[in-house]
Amino acid sequence: EEEKNKYIRGKELGEGTYAIVYEGRLRADPTQLVAIKKIKVQKEYSDGIAPDAVREIKFLQELRHANIVRLHSVYSTRDQNLCLVLEHLPRGDLEMLIRDTAAVRYGAADIKAWMGMLCRAVAFCHDRAVLHRDIKPNNLLVAADGELKLADFGLARSCADPYRPMTANVITRWYRPPELLFGARHYTGGVDVWSVGLVFAELIIRNPYLPGNTEVEQIGLICRALGTPTEENWPGVTRLDSYTVPTDRVYPVAGRENFLGPFGTVGSDGVDLLMKTLVLDPRRRITSRAMLSHAWWHAEPRPTPIQDLPRRN
């Protein structure tokens, strides 16, 4: 209630699927810019935001890291909309850099720098039992100094509470791991690691790696590219609620040779790390912590210093 009076709302910065984002200034010091993200509340739920949701999101205010978009404040408005006051990051996102093939050139050292920032952010969250659950290039914002910042914890919540069943309907389809596509209700940081792997692949090929148009097609793409999940490579998978795989054939689990062609520009260590993030069985997938101690970070080339990273004009 008094939280919202701390900010002066300015012009609209952009509109997304679930939110409108405005520029804002701190009333006490108008030189301080923020972004105010007003979450659109669906009419059907117009009795308002569950106090729960506000409490849950407030928890994210504690999550402070150089590579995570700072959440300054959360409040609900009189008309029952939820407003998030965020760090102001007007330089676009990683998706814009990946897509702008005409103007933006980047190489293995730049990919290593961006991936390092992403992996540190994710490991930091996982250490605190927070899953992001919607990692994709469009949720990685670029700060003025070149720092990459993980944004949009709209779906994030603590996985520390074992009594709340988690919904499987999270994560934009292309970045969604097989356990969620199969309807697993108990999942781990592995869901984020899979998404990180797909961001890694996309940075390299500059195209979405597994762009399924439907969930069924998404599963088909995963099977063809990475292998058909079976009891042999993923014990228990066939018991998941929505386990269905293409029946025309059982695709073998992809080996190193399948990755070296399309992804070889990041070197054999890079390919090794990529393969470990895209392991079908979430229990055998690398953890975000283990990603940080991988040999790739120490292999040549060294990551580009952030101030030298390519940017859009």
The set of catalytic residues is 134
Nearer to ligand ADP by C-beta: 69 or 113?
69
Query: What b-and-e string marks burial along 6-40, b requiring 16 or more CB atoms within 10 Å of the CB?
Result: bbeeeeebeeeeebebbbbbeeeeeeeebbbbbbe
Nearer to ligand ADP by C-beta: 155 or 254?
155
Enter the tokens of residue 188: 């781990």
Give the closest residue to 132 by CA, choosing from 199, 68, 41. Answer: 68
CB of 70 to ligand ADP, least distance (A): 9
CB of 109 to ligand ADP, least distance (A): 27
Enter the tokens of residue 242: 């929505």
CB of 181 to ligand ADP, least distance (A): 22
Nearer to ligand ADP by C-beta: 141 or 274?
141
Nearer to ligand ADP by C-beta: 61 or 287?
61
Q: Using the rule CB under 6 A, which residue among 24, 25, 35, 120 binds ligand ADP? A: 35
Nearer to ligand ADP by C-beta: 141 or 245?
141
Tokens 């108008």 sit at which residue?
A: 30
Q: Using the rule CB under 6 A, which residue among 27, 40, 90, 103 binds ligand ADP? A: 90
Counting Cα atoms < 13 Å in the Cβ hemisphere of 31 gives 0
* Near ligand ADP in 58-87, by CB under 6 A: 69, 86-87
User: Residue 262, exposed/middle/buried by CB under 10 A (0-12, 13-18, 19+)?
Assistant: middle
Q: What whole-number distance in Å separates Cα of residue 296 and Cα of residue 303?
A: 10
Is residue 131 within 8 Å of 159, Cβ to Cβ?
yes
Give the closest residue to 31 by CA, choosing from 73, 69, 88. Answer: 88
Binding string, 94-133, against ligand ADP, x = CB under 6 A? ----------------------------------------
* Near ligand ADP in 129-148, by CB under 6 A: 138, 141
Q: What whole-number distance in Å separates Cα of residue 93 and Cα of residue 95?
A: 5
- Residue nearest to ligand ADP as judged by C-beta position: 16
* Near ligand ADP in 5-34, by CB under 6 A: 13-17, 19, 21
CB of 47 to ligand ADP, least distance (A): 23
Does the footprint of ligand ADP cover residue 235 (CB under 6 A)? no
Q: What whole-number distance in Å separates Cα of residue 185 and Cα of residue 215?
A: 17
CB of 1 to ligand ADP, least distance (A): 23
Q: What whole-number distance in Å separates Cα of residue 58 and Cα of residue 73?
A: 7
CB of 68 to ligand ADP, least distance (A): 12
Residues that bind ligand ADP in the complex, under the rule CB under 6 A: 13-17, 19, 21, 35, 69, 86-90, 138, 141, 152
